[in-house]
Structure 1
Amino acid sequence: MAPSAPPDTPSVVTPAFLNWPLRDLRAWVRLLVRAEVPILASTAQAIEDLRAREDDIGPADLSPVLRADPLMTVKFFAHVATLRRNDDATETESITSALVMTGITPFFKHFGPQATVEDRLREYPAALEAVQELLHRSARAAHFAMAFAVHRSDTDVDVIHEAAFLHDFAELLVWCHAPTLMLKIRQAQAQDPALRSSVAQRSVLNIELDDLRQTLLRLWRLPKLLIRISDGKHADHPSVQNVVLASRLARHTMKSWDNPALSSDVEALSKLLNASPRVTLAFLHKVDGSSEP
């Protein structure tokens, strides 16, 4: 089921794949708020396994399952937002606290068996491979972001970790709806490693995925702190810089540490961490070595 759309936007069945770009950001948003949001097959199966023993589990059992899937995380937070009054000043900023608020039985009642990314992209193995790579990159970014936040003694470590993990959820959604267009972007960047992602996205999709992410986060009324920390176009706050740099470093070091863009990333991170570039690079290697395979 799709996260709730505005009252005048009826939910519809997920449309066929797009082979041509939509006109603008408004058109992309209209498509995605109406469409089903698929989740990972592993998440869907884990939810069904827990559903079978619904009376014996609590938020601590369900929370790790939802938190491990960026699409399910967004989908759940969007649902939670619909349960709040518009004038409600309080927000749940963690999945566990949101589950405590909603309750386990209402969760399972609202979220029946879920459509999956793997089923959606069954006929597009190259796109599914790209999605798996993107998920690995998101986990890597979250690992970097948490390490930076702990080093800085930041008070919002969990939200920073979550923001970095969710950084690419809009890209995941577009892969699910327009795999041929996303493969076109991938091919263009493979042919020209210097091609900036934002330029390639505007050329092929008529939008930048960062704009799509922020619009959907606001429309689905995710926690305000999470939205603010996710907004890389206003990176004047250390927490935002943390997420931006973690995501950038995850992308630039996915395959090796020889990416020419790495030096500028390290220079920017050294300023955030108040350390020399040499010390910062050593710290990055240490953090990378401590990540789980």
Structure 2
Amino acid sequence: MNTPLSGIESWAAFLADRELPVLRHTAHALLAARERMDRIDVRELADIVLHDPMMTARVLRFSAAHRGRRQLQDMSTVEHAVMMLGVEPFFRHFAEFELIENHMNPQALLGLLHVVRRAQRASHYALEWAVWRCDLNSEEVAIAALLHDLAEMLLWCWAPEAALKVQALQHADPALRSADAQTAVLGFPLNALQALVCRNWELPELLLTLMDDTCCEKPRVKNVKLAVDLARHSAHGWDDPALPDDFRAIARLMNVDEDSVRVRLGLLAAEREEKDN
């Protein structure tokens, strides 16, 4: 980005107008899937898309922009969006991609991939807990967790200098909240920017609500938030001081004890093995 931006509206307009790059792995997987277009089903295609938060946002953005007049319900899942579009039209509309790995300098790429991996883990946790809670549409919850930090990804893609400044502030003061570091650099927190970008894209209102931490009194939103928190706090290992609070909150949401949470995360056996050694 060469032109400095001022104000959250300018930032939102700038980011909402960018074409989203995708992971090289996603582009290769879709190319391979295209070669067997007549045999691939909607679920398999959706699974490829859902591995990549940027590709997921592309599909939902395209679906929102091309929603038919008679379509009364927003498409809040990738599987539904692909089904409504059709497999052949999907490959026609999503034939060319700019690759994330070709788009960015090494330092910015490292920052972005860290957020992408964190989002993938958050989505995995959110989906598992939603299924555990018998959520009737667990993919919505998984997508909300996958896209929860989309604005941070966009910042790394299109304004890496700003993203690096935020990162430097947090490294200098590990106790500094992410929103405070973002406000210090940009003048606003990224969750506010993300809400504007998603509204510019006309993404489903349900997904915006599921990504809104201020609505976490709702169990599905809490499911998303706790999955995002756990992925963030465990990104560098399982010794973060915030994790015990996460485990307690997850246990309350799932109505189980904390040991059950640790078992589901594969931690209890590891902790016992460490003690034995």
Q: Does residue 159 in structure 1 map to residue 105 in structure 2?
A: no
- How many Å apart are 1:53 and its aligned residue? 4.4
2:42 equivalent to 1:45:
no
TM-score scaled by structure 1? 0.83
2:42 is matched with 59
Q: Distance in 1 between matches of 2:168 and 2:269?
A: 27
Q: Distance in 1 between matches of 2:121 and 2:213?
A: 18
Tell me the equivalent position of 1:143. 124
Q: Which amino acid aligns with 2:121?
A: R
Match of 1:116 in 2: 99
**What is aligned with 2:55?**
72
Deviation at 1:279, TM superposition (A): 4.8
Deviation string for 1:188-228 (max 9, x for gaps)? 11121101000001111222111222222233222332222
Equivalence for 1:216: 197
CA distance in 2, matches of 1:213, 1:174: 10
TM-score normalised over the length of structure 2 = 0.87
Q: Do structure 1's residue 250 and structure 2's residue 231 form an aligned pair?
A: yes
Mapped to 2, the partners of 1:35 and 1:277 lie a distance apart of 43
Q: Which residue in the other structure is 2:244 paired with?
A: 263
The alpha-carbon deviation at position 55 of structure 1 amounts to 4.4
* Cα distance, 1:56 vs structure 2: 4.7
Q: Distance in 2 between matches of 1:277 and 1:66?
A: 33
Contact 2:13 2:197 in 1 (8 A): no
Does 2:206 align with 1:225? yes
Q: CA deviation at 1:144?
A: 1.7
Residues 16-70 of structure 1 show CA distances to partners (whole Å, capped at 9, x for unaligned) of 356x5x3222111110122221111221222333334444544244222212111
Structure 2 vs 1, CA of residues 150 and 107 (structure 1 numbering), >3 Å: closer, same or farther?
closer
The answer to whether the Cα contact below 8 Å between 1:163 and 1:243 also exists between their aligned partners in 2 is yes
The answer to whether structure 1 residue 183 and structure 2 residue 164 are counterparts is: yes
Aligned residues between the structures? 270
8 A Cα contact 1:93 1:159, kept in partner: yes
Structure 1 residues 288 and 243, CA, compared in 2 at 3 Å: closer, same or farther?
Answer: farther
What amino acid is aligned across from residue 35 of structure 1 in structure 2? Answer: R
Is the Cα contact below 8 Å between 1:93 and 1:223 reproduced in 2? yes
Code of the residue aligned with 1:152 in structure 2: it is R
Deviation, 1:244, is 0.6
1:206 is the counterpart of 2:187: yes
**Quick one: structure 1 residues 281 and 109, their matched pair in 2 at CA, closer, same or farther if it must change by over 3 Å?**
closer
What do you get for the CA RMSD once the two structures are aligned? 2.4
1:24 is aligned to 7
Contiguous gaps of at least 5 residues in structure 1: 1-15
Distance 1:84 1:153, change over 3 A: same
Counterpart code for 2:148: H
- Is the 8 Å Cα contact of residues 169 and 181 (structure 2) preserved in structure 1? yes
Measured in 2, the distance between the counterparts of 1:239 and 1:141 equals 14
CA drift of 1:129 comes to 1.3
Structure 2 residue corresponding to 1:96, chosen from 79, 103, 117: 79
1:288 Cα deviation after fit = 11
